Chain A
């Protein structure tokens, strides 16, 4: 039998993928341009016995998904701009208490209310550093409806594997455009679940590092009773100010992502092998960049595209390697210069670097990129 196909929006693909990944609990608060995710899940989750709740604000939505995740559910929340600003408090809670959850940010212009219906890519650094304190970050940035599906599934897998919040960064265009997607069959995409304790309840500690950097997580309400706090905690989950315990825990929480960066990172490379200039772009802008690369190649310019699908952790080794073999890297992004700072940090002056920003609510066009490439070369 032919696989099921449909012409659907990115937001719809994201919602259906969540269910495919095993999501059984969604909490949200209405906000443009993310609302379709909540709308689809309010319809689909009850069909599989899952729960949808619209909370009183974006902070509450984060709180509710963290609570549900502690009770063993796979959970998701979706928001945008001002909503993401509010969520930072509890994204930090999910980081320190190590609670798996997926948060979709359909980026819009800002700061503040900004441009609710216009596309943007200006939350790159918020995704990395939005909540206070040192913490690891995983964020993915899909660029098509099909990829939104597969990356949403991967976001759940990463959240469950590393016991932490994972953000999906989309922009208004990929979220709202409609493309044909082929729905994967059950079992076609890998589904990963959090590691449950193998020890007896009496021996269980929620942050027991004897099982590695990602301790098993029991569901509250099962036979494992434990304590969770947003304070710095000892392996038993209770607050501590003991210097060496605090230090060890803080470092472990960064290490669980840093040490696994190569497993988490995912990039797409297009015509980079012989490239003299590379356009480094993600999300919707990467599609303009690909169009630009094809046109430039026709004109004899050896252009290539490097597209980080995982934005955080940033693929620093690969980008540093590419910088050594090209004349220049161009970073078009729908903000006034965010990801370019990360590229600059990694490239360390080994090639020319130029940014191209746009914040007027319109996408960066292929022709803008082509002009920029010609200007730089």
Chain B
């Protein structure tokens, strides 16, 4: 793969990765949010695969490609399916943002500029195309935190947590020349377990209290 195509494909994957995170703030429909999360997972997998092909197909690159395939299965298929099952069980279809959508989007733009400002020293260490894309990954982490803080449904909080995780994974792959397979496997298993536990917890909460609005849960007394 020539250098120009490599940079184009890398930028394209980063663009899709960032756009999916911003659109999570835009949509109110929970099903659409889960679809966007799946698209983001696919973009992350494509990002890792592009890095792998650039490394060369022998040895390290092949490992990265395998990791990309694993990420695609976990983050674009398995996790979204689990989240979708949680939606189908409930009667709530829309998020209730504490900060309205227009303001959230402007905050997202501010977070993008903030992460660009704070990652400049990191980029200056080694300004290769992959490291230059680190602000994108950090923006996704920050947007994930913002979703965690401002969205009240348990499911959208899970998506926020997963956005943070996607962002951290992207930072790891962009700054190092690739995470060892065993580390990434461990992290992915942790995420999968966390989502399974949260899904069971959400289902139990709904069975016991009838809703997953976290502000109401705070006021429960027995």
Q: Do A and B come from one complex?
A: no
Interface residues of B (CB under 8 A from A): none
